[in-house]
Amino acid sequence: MSPRAVDVLRGSLVEALEAFAGRGRVLVALDFDGVLSPIVDVPSEARALPASAEALAALVATTDVALVSGRDITDLAACASPPPGVVLVGGHGTQSSLDGPGGGRQLSDDEQALLVRLGEQLDEIAAAHPGTSVERKPMSAVLHTRAADRVVAVEATRAALAGPAALDGVHALRGKEVVEIGAVPLGKGAGLQRLREALSAAGGPVEAVLFAGDDVTDEDAFAVLAQDDGDLGVKVGSGDTRAAHRVSDPDEVALLLAHLVQLRAR
């Protein structure tokens, strides 16, 4: 372990990583934005840190690896440029590269009509709140507030939660500077569980899962981890969390992944 890694990965986290790495088949699942990539103002410009990209390319040789993101799966692939063998789970668990191009699931006519309505209502909110913007995803619409004045951002968020997010049949998630509203159920926890089941069915049981995330939307994934059975949750950054362990930022995630590569290579 490098001197920098010694400073970061100390105490219970080092012990937990060693125990995790010592198991047979394990899954390392990672959020992208704020974990592999620093948060950027323009989402399409996000890229994994070189050290993390290098570690992923090495880790996938010994370990099941997945990226679990709120991004649309096509957008996630474009920004993350994952090495071959990495599974992509997008749309807050609603899409998986295991299901083929586009992630598999398709909206019904009613769901599609609801999605159009959500986008239109968020467009109205964005038009009334300078600096905010709306992103369309295949199964949800997202209000972004990062570029807005802080007072405007709060007002726009409140309007989204009180308006389209309160409609019957929708599923809303509030993250860092975003309100995402889905025409289908959203949740990284369910997506992570489905991924674990699919991998286990295809190649034998996944004995333990490590999930790292930075946003409040990642708490749903931390909640499904069975930490008493060897699963490992790592919160990136500050804030309350269900995860048992924490690192500060994507640079420290890169150190964690590099150390895990060494452990799994033994």
The CA distance from 67 to 73, in Å, is: 10
Q: Which of 7, 31, 99, 215 is catalytic?
A: 31
The CA distance from 254 to 30, in Å, is: 11
Instruction: Please give the C-alpha separations between residue 7 and each of 2, 17, 127, 257, 260, in angstroms, as whole numbers.
Output: 9, 15, 47, 15, 15
The CA distance from 160 to 211, in Å, is: 29
Strand order in the sheet with 140-144: 133-136, 140-144, 178-182, 171-175
Catalytic site residue 31?
yes
The CA distance from 68 to 70, in Å, is: 7
CA dihedral 223, 226, 230, 236 (to 10 degrees): 0
Q: Which residues are catalytic?
A: 31
